[in-house]
Amino acid sequence: MIWLDRRKNSRLSDVFSYPEDDSVLDPLLAQHLSFFGIDFSSLKKTEMTTAERELDQNINFDWNRIQESGQDLEPIFGPGYTGLVNLGNSCYMAATMQVVFSTQSFSSRYYKNQALKLAFETAPSDPTVDLNMQLTKLGHGLLSGKYSVPAPEVDDIADSATSTSTKQEGLPPRMFKAVVAASHPEFSSMRQQDALEFFLHFLDQVELGNVAKPDADPSRSFKFGIEERIQCSSGKVAYNRRHDYILSLNIPLHEATNKEELEAFHKAQKDSEGKDVSSNEIVRPRVPLEACLANFSAPEEIQDFYSTALRAKTMAIKKAGLTSFPDYLVLHMRKFVMEEGWVPKKLDVYVDVPDIIDISHMRSKGLQPGEELLPEGGPETEVESNEVTANDVIVVQLMSMGFGHIPCQKAAINTLNAGVEEAMNWLLSHMDDPDIEAPIPKGSQGGPEVVDQSAVQTLISFGFEEEVAKKALKASGGDIEKATDWIFNNPGGSGSSDMDTTTSSSTPTTDTTAGLPDGGGKYRLFGIVSHIGTSTQCGHYVAHVLKDGRWVIFNDTKVGVSVNPPKDMGYLYFFERINN
């Protein structure tokens, strides 16, 4: 639970200093809680509901399974087996960096081919703010074995023999964290963060730090090309191409392989309503990774797609594929989803991930003989090249609701004649404009109003570019949800900034994969980053890495031989290409 002081809008974790481990020791807890109006002495234990007991059971199960609690883990020390000290909710960074530095590209760039002394001699005047210098320090710290030594024995009842035996002194990466997070306010904080967002931010920073020497840039080993083919009802096609570092996969729960077992489990839960279910074994949907990959490549219908060939909205089919296969393929499982009402939820699901995968069938083919490209442009380019006139049907329907003729015309024009509902939303949000009844200048486009900047910022936070967000909001009457739908339904006229867009038009580029690594589509699993908790903003991250033919668990400063790696519970999966 995260307590929030509403008067000061600050977290309790920002007020008090807690230990770096998972326990919270505060001898003055009652006094501190009273500061927030909580009378500790008056609190009474209440009966847990069935849902609360189930949630508690799930969290405890995940915690024990992912951390391999209770297992007799053999501790490992030496080069490549160095733990990272938790700097206060920095496990997302520790887990990610353990996997990253297990790759040949990063270990070569910042350890094997980079002497520490030479790095200091050639570093900028202030090496404390140079990312490459700090990565070299981190690489030597993790891979040299210098800091991989047992921690002193601790006589504490809270420390079990298992946890103490695998704990190290570890390496505190304070300077590295300060440098890599300098350009990101959230990662600069002491709060828990999303390991995926950190991974993408980190690779972006590495790429920027190696602009002068792109051939030495280790982040390119993760980069690959994605191509989306869109065919509208006219039969003509468009190709959108971009670069990315991760392949983000939806989890199709309807593809679960244990449906009968699930039904029996849910029936047993219903029958035991109000009873103690703590002894019941957890049953979750089991979805094969192949189903997630197939879902990514499967054809998808796009409703209300604007066809530049038909100059109207129609239905289109979109299909995605990869234009290149990276040295290291990272799969992101979309376990965190939005329910109705934009309520975040974590999917309670297992994904069965094999040790070897082959994605050769996912390679895109590009423009094929006989295919005809859609003409350039979109609804927004028509606005730029032609005078927009209000759709009479939309205007008449709005006027029948009691609105004036000029406001109705402006509503239709400013929403690009997208529809009555869109025009209505625009009209309702602009009724108080001082010039709403002012005549529309002849030969103009009706002077589209500046969209609400807060709505623009909301769409930008979703990962869309500012110009795309503005176009979508104008076409949707300022409605954020409809604007999001507009972006996805008009991919020919939009792109998303979180995917390093290279091409977003119907004209194919010569080669969008130039300089990127490429090879066969066969991969071997070598790293897993798992998350414990109900949200990416809370909980704990643990890494499992395949090293020297055995799986190793990296849990902050605890490093040991894994007995049962949670291959079906990962959040990020790291694969390395097998060169045949």
pLDDT by residue, tens only, the chain of 580 residues:
333 333 333 333 333 333 444 445 677 777 777 776 777 666 665 555 555 555 556 667 788 889 998 788 899 999 999 999 999 889 999 999 999 999 999 999 999 988 888 888 888 888 888 999 999 999 999 999 999 988 776 554 444 444 444 578 889 999 999 999 888 878 888 788 899 999 999 999 999 989 888 888 999 999 999 999 999 999 999 998 999 999 999 999 999 999 999 898 888 877 776 555 555 578 899 999 999 999 999 999 988 888 888 888 889 999 999 999 999 999 999 998 877 666 778 898 999 999 999 999 999 988 999 999 998 765 544 444 445 678 888 888 888 888 888 899 888 888 878 788 888 888 887 888 888 888 876 544 444 444 666 677 666 656 666 677 777 777 666 777 767 767 766 654 443 333 344 334 444 444 556 678 999 999 999 999 999 988 877 889 999 999 999 999 999 999 999 999 999 999 999 999 998 6
DSSP string of 375-401, one letter each residue: PS--HHHHHHHS-----HHHHHHHHTT
Residue 287 burial (CB count, 10 A): 24
Structural tokens at position 459:
């769409």
Angle, helices 195-209/131-143, rounded to nearest 10 degrees? 120
Would you say 528 and 566 are in contact if contact means Cβ atoms under 8 Å apart? yes
Euclidean distance between CA atoms 176 and 198, whole angstroms = 13
Nearest Cα to Cα of residue 177 among 150, 137, 120, 144? 137
| Annotated catalytic residue, options 140, 243, 332, 540 | 540
Which is the catalytic residue, given 91, 232, 292, 408? 91
Residues 6+ apart with CB under 8 A from 1: none
Give the model's pLDDT for residue 42: 67
Reduce the DSSP state of residue 242 to 3 states and report it.
strand
Beta strands at 4-5 and 10-11: parallel, antiparallel or unpaired: antiparallel
Read off the pTM.
Answer: 0.71
Which residue in this structure is represented by tokens 């490209």? 373
Quote the CA–CA distance of 151 and 165 in Å, as a whole number: 9
pLDDT of the residue at 543: 97
Rounded Cα gap, residues 356 and 224, in angstroms: 19
Is 232 considered catalytic here?
Answer: no
Separation CA 260–CA 348 (nearest Å) = 17
Distance from C-alpha of 402 to C-alpha of 297, rounded to nearest angstrom: 48
Domains and CATH numbers, the chain: 4-42 (no CATH), 58-221+521-577 (3.90.70.10), 224-270+282-329+353-377+505-516 (3.90.70.10), 379-504 (1.10.8.10)
Q: Please say if 361 is a catalytic residue.
A: no
Instruction: List Cα–Cα distances, 353 to 231, 289, 410, 572, in angstroms.
Output: 32, 5, 54, 11
Question: 3-class DSSP state for residue 317?
Answer: strand
pLDDT for residue 8: 33
Question: What's the pLDDT score for residue 377?
Answer: 64
Phi-psi region of 104 (alpha: psi -120 to 50; beta: other; left: phi over 0): alpha
